[in-house]
Structure 1
Amino acid sequence: MTNERRVLVHADTESLAASVAARFITKTVDILDDQATANVVLTGGRVGTAVLAAINASPARDTIDWSRVSFWWGDERWLPAGDAERNDQQARDALLDHISVPAENVHPYPSSDSGISLDDAALQYAAELAAHGDGEGAPRFDITFLGVGPDGHIASLFPHRSGISIEDRSVIPVRKSPKPPAERLSLTRPTLNSSERVWMVLSGADKASALGLALAGAARDEVPVAGIKGRKRTVFFVDADAASEVPENLIAPSY
């Protein structure tokens, strides 16, 4: 069903990461059977990085033709290149440095030591998206991974902040973030929602309230994750703790 939202529950973080990794490998192989290339948007954080590590550890990892996959990021911390807290560095350590992906297929945000301002960095990444775009200001994102914060934020779009409402840009600078570091870069909601498939991956009891509110129809300004939906499918991959407030009718026995 187009645009459906489903929740897949796993026993714990380890089984969650392994399951998402297996599904990612299978789906990416299917995508590349149907089209020449694939664009994947990555996230950071503990669980997002665990998924990438599980992809790397999978015996099926290289069934994917990585030369045909391009990687982007939903958001990034405004830190120097190579900083261990940057999402792109975490992704490199967990997966990208271990696979045969061409350097030109990896599209990190500019770093704080790149010699440009935060505002110019947002413009530069928007231009890079447009240069690889399909006429809508960004590439066709086949799979977009997103984490969800306890407050319901996604990427660096936070509750009660203007970022979640911006619709005329693909990338925004973020200042005074409630979560450190204070300065960040983020894709906007329309850009995230241009994705064919959005895969939200979250674990822990501290995420249960935000997930429950989002699925119950909370306002996006209050719970930003409520405003995110893939064109074809939106799947919440969660552990049992995070699923405690999810309506039973939304929990899928299989996918």
Structure 2
Amino acid sequence: MPEVIVYADADAVAQSTAARLLVRIGDVLAHRDRADVMVTGGTVGIATLATAAASPLAQTIDWTSVHVWWGDERFVEAGHADRNEGQAQAALLGGLPLPEGNIHRMGSSSAFATAEDAAAAYAADIAEAGDPAWDILMLGLGPDGHVASLFPGHPVYVESDPASASALPVHDSPKPPPTRVTLSLATINRAREVWVVAAGAAKADVVARCVHGDAQLPGAAVRGSERTLWLVDAAAATRI
């Protein structure tokens, strides 16, 4: 089983995860010259980023040595409210001295004709960066047990070869918008640390199924090479 840490409520999850994120980045940079961080959207994920931006700890980090990535993105036009990168930009990235070249956004439909083209471009970006083993990879958890844009029963999750491209196009997503780009499961699991954040009683059943290894759920399949953390509130932990 992964390591499960339970907090009082969703706000405590965001506050504690934000502090953990900044400390972890600082620790990585104390030992290496670069940190690669995968951020996530969702209510708790964005609250975590906003809290990190406001923390005094953020001022202690050399952001020129931090690279920011995404686990998935909605294939819609640039600036669309559905795009994860726009939410992260508003919550965290826009307020940091982070070089634009260090922000690795997934392509939009404004820049690419197809999700296949956007996925190929992101895979090339990852390869050009040396196929990093992400120091921190944060994921939200959907009520159906999906993570990134890997959905239960969807061909991109069920049929993908572990040796396939690091970023994959998704069509007919069960959650709108239907067209997306996602990291593959094998690429996610290359991370040193994977953190899954979840809150609310509505997530209790699926959190328990994932933590106990239900093979049907993508959330149960993600794991870090060094550490896997589930950061949840008390309501989401009641069935574990």
TM-score (norm 2): 0.96
Q: What's the CA shift string for 1:98-140, capped at 9, x where partnerless?
A: 000000000000101114311111111111111112xxxx212
Indicate if the aligned counterparts of 2:13 and 2:231 stay in contact, CA closer than 8 A: yes
Within the alignment, does 1:126 sit opposite 2:123 as a pair?
Answer: yes
Letter paired with 2:126 = L
Q: 1:176 maps to which residue?
A: 172
**4+ runs of 1 displaced by more than 3 Å?**
none
Indicate if the aligned counterparts of 2:213 and 2:221 stay in contact, CA closer than 8 A: no
Letter paired with 1:192 = I
Between the two proteins, what is the percent identity of the paired residues? 44
CA distance, structure 2, for counterparts of residue 170 and residue 115 of structure 1: 18
Q: 2:19 maps to which residue?
A: 22
Letter paired with 2:135 = D
Q: What's the CA shift string for 1:24-78, capped at 9, x where partnerless?
A: 1111111100000000011111111000000011121111111100000000011
- 2:236 is paired with a residue whose SS is coil
Q: What's the CA shift string for 1:182-209, capped at 9, x where partnerless?
A: 0000000000000000011111111111
- Structure-to-structure mapping, 1:76-91, within 5 angstroms: 76-91=73-88
The change in CA–CA distance for 1:115 and 1:157 in structure 2 (over 3 A counts) is closer
Indicate if the aligned counterparts of 2:123 and 2:166 stay in contact, CA closer than 8 A: yes
- 1:236 is paired with a residue whose SS is strand
Q: 2:8 maps to which residue?
A: 11
* Residue 84 of structure 1, CA deviation: 2.0
* Residue 10 of structure 1, CA deviation: 0.7
162, 171, 174: which one aligns with 2:155:
162
- 2:232 is paired with a residue whose SS is strand
183, 190, 196: which one aligns with 2:192:
196
Question: Could you say what the CA RMSD is over the residues aligned between the two structures, in angstroms?
Answer: 1.0
* Residue 231 of structure 1, CA deviation: 0.3
Q: 1:73 maps to which residue?
A: 70
Indicate if the aligned counterparts of 2:200 and 2:233 stay in contact, CA closer than 8 A: yes
Q: What's the CA shift string for 1:146-199, capped at 9, x where partnerless?
A: 001111000000001122241222111111111010000000000000000001
CA distance, structure 1, for counterparts of residue 132 and residue 119 of structure 2: 16
Within the alignment, does 1:223 sit opposite 2:217 as a pair?
Answer: yes
Q: 1:186 maps to which residue?
A: 182
Q: What 5-or-longer segments of structure 1 have no aligned partner?
A: 247-255
Q: What 5-or-longer segments of structure 2 have no aligned partner?
A: none
105, 108, 117: which one aligns with 2:105:
108
Within the alignment, does 1:243 sit opposite 2:240 as a pair?
Answer: no
CA distance, structure 2, for counterparts of residue 84 and residue 218 of structure 1: 33
Indicate if the aligned counterparts of 2:112 and 2:118 stay in contact, CA closer than 8 A: no
Q: 2:210 maps to which residue?
A: 214
148, 161, 166: which one aligns with 2:141:
148
- 1:185 is paired with a residue whose SS is strand
CA distance, structure 1, for counterparts of residue 82 and residue 195 of structure 2: 22
Within the alignment, does 1:48 sit opposite 2:41 as a pair?
Answer: no
CA distance, structure 1, for counterparts of residue 105 and residue 192 of structure 2: 21
Letter paired with 2:26 = V
